[in-house]
Amino acid sequence: MRAGLKTGIVGRELTCLDSTTSTQDVARELADKGSPDGTVVMALSQQAGRGRLGRSWFSPEGTLAASIVLKPPLRLLRLLPAISSLAVLRALKTFRIQAAIKWPNDVMIRGKKVCGILIENAFTAGKYDFSVVGIGINVNFDTGRYPEIAEIATSLSTELKREVLVSRVALHLFTELDKLYTRIHNSESIFREWARQMETLGHTIAVKSGEETIYGMAERLTPEGNLLLRLADGSTREVVAGDVTVLKESTNK
Ligand code: BTN
């Protein structure tokens, strides 16, 4: 992997583990001890993988778990969901897989989730230190063997009907992330590409945000990456975090 990685920033320090609790914790420890921008920790399985909104993340063998320490300027922090989900999309494209983004940064193939992204930011006394971008991809695993997720999740091997090397997926992922991170200042074009790839826009959706479920038409993204909904009474509502379900397909994206 190391030999194949021709990146400038992402992967300049690389830790590969067979198994760990959560790569997020290992990466954070390294960053706390001064590891540089672009430090990567990857594992072939996790015992305590975590997902967004306080959920756990299933990481058996056959999945890729990677956490990348990134230190963008604070004003560009809002671009991390965009560059990380676009990097996954581009990496999957090298395997001829057409995927799409479900807001904020789930990666979907034909409506089923293949990858989840968790971004955790570290601050000391109110000052921004670094972010840890956690990316979990279902590579070689038969989702059919897990009835609790079979309807909502897929994997690369399920889609391709063959297994792929986890290290190849990782290599493409880090390469694409490096390209996007290097041009993170180009925020307008990154945002445009992100919106183009986001299947959520233009649909009538339900967003579960905390205890509340909000219904509306996903009109556009705000410059912060929040989702702007048009409600039935014509008013708008900005959503910062939540789980999206598409209720009605539409084409006026
Ligand atoms: C989600 O969709 O809820 C986000 C899932 C993020 C999972 C990845 S796997 C690598 C990293 N380590 C973790 O414990 N979580 C993230």
Q: What is the pLDDT of residues 74-118, one digit of tens each?
A: 999 999 999 999 999 999 999 999 999 999 999 999 999 999 999
Residue 251 has pLDDT above 70, yes or no: no
Whole-number Cα distances in Å, 205 to 35, 80, 103, 150, 155: 41, 24, 11, 22, 25
**CATH number of the domain located at residue range(s) 204-248 in this protein:** 2.30.30.100
Decide if 120 contacts 58 (C-beta within 8 A): no
pTM: 0.95
**Token pair for residue 234?**
């014509």
pLDDT for the residue numbered 236: 97
pLDDT for the residue numbered 159: 96
**Topology (CATH level 3) of domain 14-196:** BirA Bifunctional Protein; domain 2 (3.30.930)
For ligand 1, atom 3, the nearest C-alpha belongs to 51
Residue 102 Cβ inside 6 Å of ligand 1? The answer reads no
Ordered by start, the domain boundaries in the chain are 14-196, 204-248
Alpha-carbon span 248 to 4, nearest angstrom: 44
Mutate to test the pocket of ligand 1, among 28, 57, 107, 112 (most ligand atoms within 8 A of CB): 57
Return the H-helix or E-strand segment holding 187: helix 187-196
pLDDT for the residue numbered 250: 59
Alpha-carbon span 67 to 22, nearest angstrom: 9
- Encode pLDDT of 167-199 as tens digits: 999 999 999 999 999 999 999 999 999 999 999
- Encode pLDDT of 151-166 as tens digits: 999 999 999 999 999 9
Alpha-carbon span 214 to 212, nearest angstrom: 6
- What is the Å distance from ligand 1's center to 110 Cα? 21
